[in-house]
């Protein structure tokens, strides 16, 4: 089945504007609350997650297996030894996580992260993945199984570093579910100085499809400027308030994961 | 034995200036790094603790069983069910912690918090207690036992809410150890507007003794102003840079917990 067709979105230009990494710092939550855009996902191990308690937005769980900044650094919610480095924090890189993480311990951690958002009075509308760490085939299988069990759409990351036959098997596994696939747009690393124009050009020229547009907006407060990529995050925050960017994005059909979830649940 | 006498401090006016709650927010760490005063204690469940990795200061473990702010909120490092509220965080008040916390689970948590600082390359110089939660008699016993085991001085909180006979027993237990007792000075709740003068008056008039002067300095950044008591914390930050306050504090013999620890270890 094709969920987009069932939702009447086939052949249209559809946009989910997605705020990654909420709950991690005050600066990122501040940007989310200031922008007023509904969709994003929360790192529930982050100490700022409770600021979004019972928030009526369109919030998912940003499933986390890495903590890439020197500070602030996050720890797993569960006890799995394979989830943590020698200091007790999540692994600092995706590669280190892929080298060490046990899929069973990751599943327990993912469940705890999902339940942590629910405990804050937020029913998740979707799942996604911090730094694409679910791209390891066995982790992707866990992730898709959890999405089906919780009846939630999940953002399937583009890059699965796996041999072609493993990848084909995973693709087939996802394809036999009603989980929809999005076109990912992610320019986290793009030059902050030209980011506004990049977004204008990119979205002006985009054809039909359902786009999941990842941004990382944060306010450049003293705390926010401690993030290594604060200029990139500030550029997203400013671009999303730019009149021309807003005009170009406004030409898409806006979509929330809540709508996707509710449509999906008719088939799950 | 009397450690102060052994250290040649008897009859003198001696001062430990102690920064509480490090590692919790960027604003508090920022104040610690700006003031340049060596002594403080770290909440190792805080996401900003790694900023103090291998710091050469005089740092102890601020043993934590409560997380009193709405945000940021901290979770226990260990799995004990009695340590957490329904959302999975530390209890919001000392009273709730005292009602629920199991002493065995608290001990496991305290050990994990101590080891977490060591994992960051900081050998703790002392132990103290966030919000005085070790004041419950069985928790105080755990706390003193851990101090003796780790051969660390520990700040014994003033208030032990217990029947007189229990209190007398605990006092006798502490008195038979070589752990030294300090005179606590804590004016966390005092009016920020008059705090500078309060400190001047208080310390100008202080007689001989070893004072453990608790302050809560934080910089009033956007993140810092999210703390309910940010004005009190800002007042401490400003007072400690005030020339007259510095002059008055400068009339004491300065003492670090590192010196106390090293002296204590001759008797432990």
Q: Is the pLDDT of residue B158 over 70?
A: no
Q: Is the pLDDT of residue B267 over 80?
A: yes
**Model pLDDT, residue A169:** 83
Q: Is the pLDDT of residue B173 over 90?
A: no
Is residue B116 less than 8 Å (CB to CB) from chain A? yes
Are A89 and B50 a contacting pair at CB < 8 A?
A: yes
pTM, full prediction: 0.97
Report the first-to-last Cα separation within chain A, whole angstroms.
12
Contact between A126 and A41 under an 8 Å Cβ cutoff? The reply is yes
Q: Is the pLDDT of residue B20 over 90?
A: yes
Q: Which residues of B touch A45 (CB under 8 A)?
A: 75
Q: How far is B99 from chain A (nearest CA, A)?
A: 21
Residue A140 to residue A179: CA distance in whole angstroms? 13
> Helices in A87-227 by DSSP H: which ranges?
94-100, 103-119, 137-150, 164-175, 195-204
- What rounded mean pLDDT belongs to chain A? 96
Q: Work out the average pLDDT over B24-53.
A: 98
pLDDT bin (cut points 50, 70, 90) of residue A165 is confident
Q: Which residues of B touch A48 (CB under 8 A)?
A: 71-72
pLDDT (tens digit per residue) in B98-115: 999 999 999 999 999 999
The residue of chain B with its CA nearest to that of A224 is: B223
Q: Work out the average pLDDT over A250-266.
A: 98
Q: Sort strands A39-42 and A13-22 into parallel, antiparallel or unpaired.
A: parallel
A181 SS3 class: coil
Provide CB contacts within 8 A for A19, sequence distance 6+: A28, A31, A32, A35, A37, A39, A40, A41, A215, A216, A217
Q: Which residues of A touch B77 (CB under 8 A)?
A: 75, 88
Decide which of A188 and B31 is more confident. Answer: B31
**Model pLDDT, residue A159:** 58
**Model pLDDT, residue A160:** 63
Cα dihedral sign, A91-A92-A94-A100: negative
Chain A segment 184-203 residues within 8 A of B by beta carbon are none
pLDDT (tens digit per residue) in B120-133: 999 999 999 999 99
B158 carries an active-site annotation: no
Q: Is the pLDDT of residue A244 over 80?
A: yes
Residue B77 to residue B99: CA distance in whole angstroms? 20
Task: Supply the DSSP symbol for B154.
Answer: B
Chain B segment 46-105 residues within 8 A of A by beta carbon are 46-51, 70-75, 77, 79, 86-89
Provide CB contacts within 8 A for B185, sequence distance 6+: B202, B211, B212, B213, B214
Q: Is the pLDDT of residue B162 over 80?
A: no
**Model pLDDT, residue A62:** 98
Contact between B127 and B61 under an 8 Å Cβ cutoff? The reply is yes
pLDDT (tens digit per residue) in A56-84: 999 999 999 999 999 999 999 999 999 99
* B72 preceded by a cis bond (ω within 30 of 0): yes
> Could you tell me how far CA A159 lies from the centroid of its own chain?
14
Q: Is the pLDDT of residue A173 over 90?
A: no
Provide the β-strand partners of residue B127: B61, B154
Total Cβ atoms within 10 A of residue B5: 11
**Model pLDDT, residue B159:** 58
């Amino acid at each position: 089945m094709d969920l987009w067709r069932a939702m009447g979105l086939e052949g249209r230009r559809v946009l989910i504007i997605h705020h990654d990494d909420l709950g991690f710092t005050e600066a990122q939550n501040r940007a989310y609350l200031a922008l007023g855009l509904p969709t994003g996902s929360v790192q529930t191990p982050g100490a700022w997650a409770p600021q979004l308690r019972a928030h009526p937005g369109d919030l998912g769980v940003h499933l986390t297996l890495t903590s890439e900044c020197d500070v602030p650094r996050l720890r797993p919610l569960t006890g799995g030894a394979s989830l943590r480095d020698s200091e007790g924090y999540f692994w600092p890189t995706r590669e280190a996580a892929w080298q060490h993480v046990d899929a069973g311990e990751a599943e327990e951690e993912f469940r705890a992260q999902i339940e942590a958002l629910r405990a804050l009075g937020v029913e998740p509308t979707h799942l996604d993945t911090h730094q694409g760490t679910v791209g390891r085939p066995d982790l992707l299988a866990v992730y898709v199984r959890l999405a089906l069990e919780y009846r939630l759409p999940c953002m399937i990351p583009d890059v699965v570093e796996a041999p072609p036959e493993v990848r084909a098997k995973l693709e087939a596994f996802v394809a036999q579910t009603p989980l929809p696939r999005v076109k990912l747009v992610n320019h986290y690393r793009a030059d902050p100085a030209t980011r506004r124009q990049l977004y204008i050009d990119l979205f002006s020229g985009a054809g039909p499809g359902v786009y999941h547009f990842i941004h990382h907006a944060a306010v450049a407060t003293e705390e926010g400027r401690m993030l290594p990529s604060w200029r990139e995050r500030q550029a997203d925050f400013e671009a999303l308030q730019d009149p021309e960017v807003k005009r170009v994005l406004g030409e898409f059909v806006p979509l929330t994961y809540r709508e996707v979830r509710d449509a999906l649940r008719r088939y799950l």
